[in-house]
Amino acid sequence: MADLLFVYGTLRRTARSPEARLLADLAVHRGPASVRGRIYRIDDYPGLVLSDDPADLVAGDLFAFEDRAVLAWLDGYEGCGPEDAEPQEYRRARIAVETGDGTVEAWAYLYNWPIDGLAWIAGGDFLAAQEPSPDPGR
């Protein structure tokens, strides 16, 4: 049985990172998905914090994989592997993810440090927030 993974930032299917391309090689894209939460700009990447508020939705992608070595690679990429110092910036957890076919349980990397002073990404879509804003003078 395949494991599922929800990604919301630099690992999304259309993200322009080498890691996103590697994930696409290691896992099968199952489609768009969302979770209840908020994302914050950490640097050039986001952090997800779960929320109970139905208005707080984070856009992402769902992937499936069978090789458990993928989780070890992801833990290293997210800085939450066994060799990473505590407190780790992210923690891997199983969360409820909404898909076009209903709710599934999937792995996700949740932001594990304080969010004080971080910019909230309104709209919950990290990749859309990366796109240049249209010129208001045009």
Say how far apart CA 14 and CA 57 lie, in whole Å.
19
Domain range spanning residue 73?
A: 3-129
Q: Which tokens is 68 given? A: 């458990």
Is residue 138, in this structure, part of any structural domain at all?
no
Is residue 40, in this structure, part of any structural domain at all?
yes
Looking at every residue in the chain, the average pLDDT score rounds to 92
Is residue 25, in this structure, part of any structural domain at all?
yes
Is residue 99, in this structure, part of any structural domain at all?
yes
Is residue 89, in this structure, part of any structural domain at all?
yes
Is residue 73, in this structure, part of any structural domain at all?
yes
Tens-place pLDDT, residues 44-92 = 999 999 999 999 999 999 999 999 899 999 999 999 999 999 999 999 9
Q: Residue 68 is part of a domain; what is its CATH number?
A: 3.10.490.10
Say how far apart CA 59 and CA 8 lie, in whole Å.
6
Q: Which of 124, 131, 128, 106 is nearest to 59 (CA)?
A: 124
Is residue 136, in this structure, part of any structural domain at all?
no
> Cis before residue 87, ω within 30 degrees of 0?
yes
Is residue 134, in this structure, part of any structural domain at all?
no
Q: How many domains does the chain have?
A: 1
Instruction: Quote the radius of gyration of the chain (alpha carbons, Å).
Output: 15
pLDDT for residue 131: 57
b/e sequence 38-58, b meaning 16+ C-beta within 10 Å: bbbbbeeebbbbbeeeeebbb
